[in-house]
Amino acid sequence: MLSNWAQSSNNVNLASFAVSLEIAKRGKPFTDGEYVKDCFIRASEELFRDFKNKAEIMKKIKDLPLSAKSIQDRTAKMSSNVTHMQVEDIQLASALSLAIDESCDIKDTAQVTLFVRYMSSQGPKEELPGLLPLSGQTRGEEITNAVQKCLEDNGIDINKIFSVATDGARSMTGIHRGVTSSLQKKINHGILTFHCIIHQEALCAQTFSAEIVEVMNLIIKIINSILAKALYHHQFKDFLEEIDSQFSDLLLHNKVRWLSRGNVLQRFDLCLSEIKTFLNEKSIAHPELEEDKWLQKFNFMIDTTMKLNELNLKLQGKGNPAYALLEDIVCFDKKLLLFLKTWREDGFTERFEQFKTNKSTLAFIVNPLNTNTDEISIEPFGIDAGSLQMQLLDLNIKDFWSGKFTELKNKLEE
């Protein structure tokens, strides 16, 4: 009987931990435990109405410890267990790569984010061993000390560090007192230092010529003129709803958010006719919106920023090796030449009509890796030329896919 009671009690505790885990994963308040329990009881009364052991089932549900205090305790225990396993895994690694970033939270407290990438028995892993608040200044020395203390408190040998990635700020990369130079002095071997590749891409995405920047400034001015005034904003939203537009509002530009520029431009373009109609009703004149030259620059900016957004998203995510990220960057660099060429011509259709020869097209089918795409005529086949050129650049630049193609080609020729 005692054994049965112990097993039953264990099951109740396991169920309590399972509910606590779901509450924590969804970021819900601990007090939701009681709400979940009430829902569970109410639903079970109907689900198990015809069960002979309904009373026993209901008793177990009612015995579930799901108070706010119980949820808090179980969440803390699971968190401690996860941290313990994480630290043990990092300690066993022979080499570590760090990513360090410093920024302020909503309460203006400086926080240092410390990511560690390493190779475990299950393969490459990325973990967050610490989110470190800085109480004083945010100089390189303070950041270095916080990182070193976090690693030492967890029993992680700093001499296992072989590379460090930062956001390129002076406090991070300063020659004498930056984080990378300070860590280098504390580690008894040389380390590789990198400026975050995604951050560099985001900085490049903000660089446009003066004439293109003027286009963006006008768009921001028009958006602000509509959204800044409560009456105009309300009327514009009503107008979009009245004409059954696919969108209910415009987007505000935020320089801090990397994808904001492209998303704002795309939404503005899709709502351009509605915006012009609304501005005409309010007698707000922006003749540029009707000028072909301005619209050409606008469309070029949309295309470029959306491609930059695609690249940014491709660079994000776990498990991407640095070499693969570099290949994406090199490939996009080649595509930029295509974007510029396309903008300077009268359009894709006219350019491709004059372009390629049948001989080159046949040569492409046999060996696409060594074929000049500017000499291919593919329009009779109903294939989008721009998309094909992008894919060929991917295939040609990335060693993995070009190797796969060569291997397959050799097998077919045998």
According to the model, what pLDDT value does residue 177 have? Answer: 84
Q: Are residues 61 and 113 in the same domain?
A: no
Q: Are residues 406 and 361 in the same domain?
A: yes
* Sign of the torsion angle spanned by Cα atoms 355, 357, 361, 367: negative
According to the model, what pLDDT value does residue 375 have? Answer: 60
pLDDT per residue over 310-326, tens digit each? Answer: 888 888 877 677 777 77
According to the model, what pLDDT value does residue 372 have? Answer: 62
Closest Cα to residue 349, out of 394, 385, 375, 396? 385
The stretches in the chain having pLDDT less than 50 are 1-8, 345-359, 362, 380-382
Burial call 368-393: b when 16+ CB within 10 Å, e when fewer: beebebeebbbeeeeeebeebbbebb
For residue 84, tell me if it sits in a domain. no
CA distance 340 to 304: 10
According to the model, what pLDDT value does residue 28 have? Answer: 92
Report the interhelical angle of 292-315 vs 197-205 (nearest 10°).
170
Residues 208 and 301 sit within 8 Å (Cβ to Cβ): yes
Q: Measured between alpha carbons, how far is residue 152 from residues 159, 165, 329, 378 in Å?
A: 11, 20, 36, 61
CATH number of 169's domain: 3.30.420.40
pTM of the model: 0.64
Residues 120 and 96 sit within 8 Å (Cβ to Cβ): no
User: What phi-psi label fits residue 139: left (phi over 0), alpha (psi between -120 and 50 degrees) or beta?
Assistant: beta
Count, residues in the chain? 414
Q: Look at the chain and report how many structural domains it folds into.
A: 4
Q: Are residues 220 and 165 in the same domain?
A: no
Query: Which amino acid is residue 158, in one-letter code?
Result: I
For residue 97, tell me if it sits in a domain. yes
CA distance 98 to 379: 49
**Residue 358 structural domain:** 349-413
Q: Are residues 163 and 220 in the same domain?
A: no
Greatest extent of the chain over all pairs of C-alpha atoms, in Å: 89
CA distance 168 to 174: 9
Closest Cα to residue 330, out of 399, 389, 397, 387? 397
